[in-house]
Amino acid sequence: MASLQTLSKSFSGWVFFCCCCCLPLLTNSLPLKGASPAHPDCRLRKINFQQPYIRNRTYTLAKTASASDKDTDNRLIGQQLFVNIRENNRCYLMKRVVEFIVKDVLLTEVKNQYPYVEEVAQFLASLTSELSSCKFSGKKDHIEKNLEQMKNKMEELGENGKTKAIGELDLLFDYMENACTDAPKKGGSKKKN
Amino acid sequence: VLENQDLQDSIKPQKVEFHSLNFNTTLRWQPGWAREARDALYFVQYKVYGQSTWQNKDDCWGIRSRVCDLTRETSDIQEPYYGRVRAALAGVHSKWSLSCRFTPWRETMIGPPMVTVVNSNKSITVKLQAPRSPYERKKGSKITMTNYYDLLYQVFIINNLLDEQHRVLVYEGKDKVIKIQDLRPGVSYCVVAKTYVPMLDRSSAYSSRQCTVL
């Protein structure tokens, strides 16, 4: 119980913090829009991803968990999630993935095995709550199918499934960022050779 | 003489790690603990996390060196990679030693900028050049690290009247040319700089110092 309380407390802290930071940004960027093809509610402000504190905590947590995951063949967060998914539905899909990971991985018994789990869970939960009115458009079949495949894969891996999911929080963070914000500077267009 | 199984274990490479500076990426390892391991040959494979097959790295196949350049193989900088190495000695192969997962964008070290200084009467003009990645544009010029990160430069001045170790931050920002003004003629000054990535909260090492006497 105590941990649930701190969770909701710091969660509201996050929301408060984000709101304060973003108000000036929001007003600034109002005249800009119109170019984005995505559902207007399926957008996260960049500021969510510009806090090195939570980014580094997420990366550290992922690194810790992935060090004990020796299965290099199976991957949960990857391009296969986006098969048959139009670009404007990717943020919605990632929202669903994050909701699943928070509820079925991070807030289970594993949270005592790794550092920073609760902080990262709070952060991710704050993102999904910001996307509460983000809906898919068009057919939902592919989204559900891809989600199902990811969940099944995790199930199949048994105990290592959760370790793997935590080890991929860095990928989750990056995929969420790419799907829900205007692409950040990462030389993303750079392809092999 | 060691039995086969023991030999296998005792030559197995240790501490297989990626090292990366400005996306110049190598896989490095230590020899196994056996004295004989020094004479072993090494074989390197790599892959993107989630792929089922390992790729042989031809340039690092049966090498004596304990370093293997994987810059080209890891050029999709947001992808997570694995590398692994095994050793062979007297016809015996060790098991593979696996690296940690490595994602270039997140983990490469970013080097300091190159600094040049030009002095005039009471000021120093500092020119900063971002470190370059190994990747080339179509025309052949190297892509700088500013293409991949929002970099800031931090410029420090060392007034040699003061303590040698006393660096004062005089500038932080994106400008490539800055002017430090109101300095004292006849005094020698040195300038060093760092790159800083706010998004990752990471700084480079200091650049080499450039000195001048006004």
Q: Between chains, do B148 and A193 touch, taking CB under 8 Å as contact?
A: no
pLDDT at B34: 86
CA distance B208 to chain A (A): 27
Residue A112 scores a pLDDT above 90: no
Tell whether A31 is covered by a domain: no
Bridge partners, B127 (sequence order): B116, B177
Tens of pLDDT along A139-174?
788 899 999 999 999 999 998 999 999 999 999 999
Own/partner long-range contacts of B60-68 (Cβ < 8 Å, ≥24 apart): B60/B27, B62/B88, B66/B13, B66/B28, B66/B29, B66/B30, B66/B31, B66/B42, B67/B26, B67/B27, B67/B28, B68/B26, B68/B27, B68/B28, B68/B42, B68/B44
Q: Between chains, do B77 and A50 touch, taking CB under 8 Å as contact?
A: no
pLDDT at B162: 64
Q: Between chains, do B101 and A167 touch, taking CB under 8 Å as contact?
A: yes
Q: What are phi and psi of A25, to 5 degrees?
A: -65, -45
CA distance A165 to chain B (A): 13
Average model confidence (pLDDT) across chain B: 93
Question: pLDDT exceeding 70 applies to what percent of chain B?
Answer: 97
> In which element (H, E) is residue B151 found?
none
Domain count, chain A: 1
* CA dist., res. B37 & res. B13, Å (int): 9
The answer to whether B31 and B66 have CB atoms below 8 angstroms apart is yes
Contacts of residue B17, defined as CB under 8 A and 6 or more positions apart, other chains included, come to B27, B28, B29, B99, B100
Tell whether A72 is covered by a domain: yes
- pLDDT average, residue stretch A105-111: 87
pLDDT at A97: 96
Residue B102 scores a pLDDT above 90: yes
Amino acid letter for position B88: A
- pLDDT average, residue stretch B66-88: 97
Full-model pTM = 0.83
Give B-chain residues touching A74 at CB under 8 angstroms.
Answer: 50
Tokens 């205007």 belong to A182
Q: Between chains, do A63 and B200 touch, taking CB under 8 Å as contact?
A: no
Tokens 């509460």 belong to A132
Among residues B4, B183, B17, B214, the alpha carbon closest in space to that of B109 is found at: B17
Bridge partners, B1 (sequence order): none
The answer to whether A67 and A114 have CB atoms below 8 angstroms apart is no
Q: Between chains, do B50 and A75 touch, taking CB under 8 Å as contact?
A: yes
Looking at residue B134, the DSSP 8-state letter turns out to be: E
CA distance A177 to chain B (A): 12
The CATH number of whichever domain residue A110 belongs to comes to 1.20.1250.10
pLDDT at A19: 43
The answer to whether A127 and A43 have CB atoms below 8 angstroms apart is no
pLDDT at A115: 87
Tokens 């370093």 belong to B67
Give A-chain residues touching B105 at CB under 8 angstroms.
Answer: 186-187
Tell whether A10 is covered by a domain: no
CB of A73 less than 8 A from some CB of B: yes
Determine if residue B121 is left, alpha or beta; phi over 0 gives left, psi from -120 to 50 gives alpha, anything else beta.
alpha
Amino acid letter for position A158: G
CB of B206 less than 8 A from some CB of A: no
Q: Which of B50, B82, B148 is the closest to A78 by Cβ?
A: B50
Instruction: Tell me which residue range forms the domain holding A85.
Output: 46-180
Residue of A nearest to B51 (CA): A73
pLDDT at A28: 38
CB of B106 less than 8 A from some CB of A: yes
Give A-chain residues touching B45 at CB under 8 angstroms.
Answer: none
CB of B55 less than 8 A from some CB of A: no
Tell whether A13 is covered by a domain: no
Tens of pLDDT along B111-155?
999 999 998 888 999 999 999 999 999 898 999 999 999 999 999
Rounded to 10°, the helix A90-101/A117-130 angle is 140
The answer to whether A44 and A130 have CB atoms below 8 angstroms apart is yes
Tens of pLDDT along B155-183?
999 987 666 678 899 999 999 999 999 88
Task: Set out the domains of chain B in order of their start, with CATH numbers.
Answer: 1-106 (2.60.40.10), 114-213 (2.60.40.10)
Residue A1 scores a pLDDT above 50: no
Q: Between chains, do B98 and A74 touch, taking CB under 8 Å as contact?
A: no
Structure tokens at B206: 């200091």
Q: What pLDDT band is residue A125 in, cutting at 50, 70 and 90?
A: very high
Tell whether A127 is covered by a domain: yes
Residue A88 scores a pLDDT above 90: no
Tens of pLDDT along A4-62?
444 444 544 454 444 444 444 443 333 333 344 556 788 999 889 989 999 999 999 99
Q: What pLDDT band is residue B30 in, cutting at 50, 70 and 90?
A: very high
Tell whether A7 is covered by a domain: no
- pLDDT average, residue stretch A78-96: 92
The answer to whether B82 and B102 have CB atoms below 8 angstroms apart is yes
CB of A52 less than 8 A from some CB of B: yes
Residue B194 scores a pLDDT above 80: yes
Looking at residue A38, the DSSP 8-state letter turns out to be: S
pLDDT at A22: 43
Tens of pLDDT along A52-77?
999 999 999 999 999 999 999 999 99
Tell whether A59 is covered by a domain: yes
CB of A153 less than 8 A from some CB of B: no
Bridge partners, B89 (sequence order): B92
Residue B66 scores a pLDDT above 70: yes
Tell whether A25 is covered by a domain: no
